[in-house]
Amino acid sequence: MDTTTVNKFRDCLKNFVEQVVSQHAPLRVTRRTGSDFVVMSAEDWERDQETLYVLQNTSLIRQIAESSATHNAGTGYTPTKEQLDEIVSI
């Protein structure tokens, strides 16, 4: 993660925002008081929130693990061609 000071951030705000959005990389901004903050794009923040939701949902994690196990074993559900066509056409 790149780091900059709050003074540099203020002086080059437009450039830093463009960097954060285009590179999808957060930026740590340091302050003299020691209370730093992080700037990230809204898209990245929403993705991270969704990931945290999934990781905190034990039931969903269990379902993903079971699905992965049956897929790897080749014993999972296989839709018919008609079902697959319907799923793909959505």
Residue 7 corresponds to which amino acid? Answer: N
Amino acid at site 77:
Y
CA-CA distance, 78 to 70, in Å (whole number)? 11
* CATH code of domain 2-40: 3.40.1620.10
pLDDT band for position 1 (cuts 50, 70, 90): very high
How far apart CA 22 and CA 16 sit, in angstroms, is 10
Q: What pTM was estimated for this model as a whole?
A: 0.67
Q: Count of H helices and E strands in the chain?
A: 5, 3
Sorted by sequence, the CB contacts under 8 Å of residue 39 that are 6+ apart come out as 9, 16, 17, 20, 26, 27, 29
| pLDDT tens figures, 16-59 | 999 999 999 999 999 999 899 999 999 999 999 999 999 999 99
